[in-house]
Amino acid sequence: MASSKIDFHTHFIPPFYRTLLEKKYPQPDGMPGYPAWSVESHLEFMETNGIKKSILSLSSPGVDGLDLGDEDIDAASLARQVNDFAADVKRQNPERFGFLASLPLSDEAACLAEIKRALSPEVNADGFMILSNTQGRYLGDPSLRTVLRALNEVGALVFVHPTIPCHHGNGGHLAQNVRVDSCCPLAAHYKIPIFEFLFDEARTIFDLVASGAATENKQIKWLVPHCGGVIPTIIDRMFLVERLGIPYPHSEGRNTSGCKFGAGEEETRRIFREQFYYDIMGNPVGNLLDSLLKFVGKEQLVFGTDTPWMPFARSNGVIKQLEEDLPGVVGEEWVSRVYHGNGEKLLARE
């Protein structure tokens, strides 16, 4: 068993968050419920699998756009509570846990305040988690420009976690499966995270790059989960559109790149190779990792498990298989860098 892994894609579920959401969101994103989680069970899982540190983050449905009925709580206060909980976990186990703070993107002023607070010595976040869309606003949306600029100014690590696909005018966040058929027509048949998450992940990364937002914010270190998801399958199409100069039908204020067909092929290649990092959670060896490494470097890969949404017991087997297969793809000399070396550089604050 390889040791000293840093897990960049792993989640926590505060007891108060579970209690709050179970009342109105008993089946988050179409899942049967919330998995069991505790600091103790997480540490036990880490010991079993040679994980020296876990960088915790909240998963979907996050803190924004939640209809919590009579509960006197909004996105900003929920984000603070979640972040304070994670900060306390890190404070009690500083060598074993770090965390990525959640942000109330629906409230710009509160979001900017939380960025500053989260990076203070008292909270000491290692970066931030942002969902792939916030009530239909994807990462290239002009309304997010001020927030991205603030994250860029501090050189933030930003983990982009997928959520339910969403569009403007849908009536709010779809985590409670209200009108979910408008964006996920197969949701009644298949759990949304299985494949819809991967499409929404690609949608927001495409928007981030094509809108020019990634070029505008070169100091942000973006972390893309699931080994890039479906991005490796559409990247050549993106390059082709830009190479041929086929214009994107940008709405007013959407494209800030100065290029009518997105960032341009050369800039797009640079972004994917220099500004983005990719966790290898899931089943990457066989097809996905080979495809991803055709346009990014091995120095951009980090380890991830998606626990506890991927149950701890099942993750044990997934990690064992990864340990057997990964050397054949990246080479024995790169295994330790993928497991922890690349991650240590990613966490380093300049």
The yes-or-no verdict on residue 72 having pLDDT over 70 is no
Cα Rg for the chain, rounded, in angstroms? 19
Alpha-carbon distance of 318 to 9, in angstroms, equals 14
Cα distances from 175 to residues 29, 157, 209, 253, in angstroms, run 5, 25, 26, 29
pLDDT tens-digit series, residues 186-197: 777 777 777 788
Q: Quick one: average pLDDT of 307-326?
A: 94
| DSSP designation for 158 | E
Neighbours of 321 (CB within 10 A): 12
The type of residue at 178 is V
pLDDT at 226 (0 to 100):
92
pLDDT at 107 (0 to 100):
94
The yes-or-no verdict on residue 166 having pLDDT over 50 is yes
Under a CB-based contact definition with an 8 Å cutoff, are residues 31 and 193 in contact? yes
- Torsions phi, psi of 132, nearest 5? -60, -30
Q: Tokens 């983990």 — which residue?
A: 159
Q: What percent of the chain has pLDDT over 90?
A: 64
* Three-state secondary-structure class, residue 134: strand
- Torsions phi, psi of 303, nearest 5? -85, 150
The type of residue at 114 is E
pLDDT tens-digit series, residues 31-46: 878 999 999 999 999 9
Q: Name the residue with higher pLDDT: 136 or 79.
A: 79
Please tell me the least confidently modeled range out of 102-116, 155-169, 181-195: 181-195
pLDDT at 28 (0 to 100):
81
**Helices and strands: H and E segment counts in the chain:** 13, 8
The yes-or-no verdict on residue 225 having pLDDT over 70 is yes
- Torsions phi, psi of 119, nearest 5? -90, 0
The yes-or-no verdict on residue 260 having pLDDT over 60 is no
Neighbours of 26 (CB within 10 A): 12
Alpha-carbon distance of 226 to 20, in angstroms, equals 28
Domains and CATH numbers, the chain: 5-347 (3.20.20.140)
The yes-or-no verdict on residue 177 having pLDDT over 50 is no
pLDDT at 174 (0 to 100):
40
Instruction: Report pTM.
Output: 0.92
Of 210, 70, 82, 202, nearest to 141 (Cα)? 210
The yes-or-no verdict on residue 17 having pLDDT over 70 is yes
pLDDT at 178 (0 to 100):
45
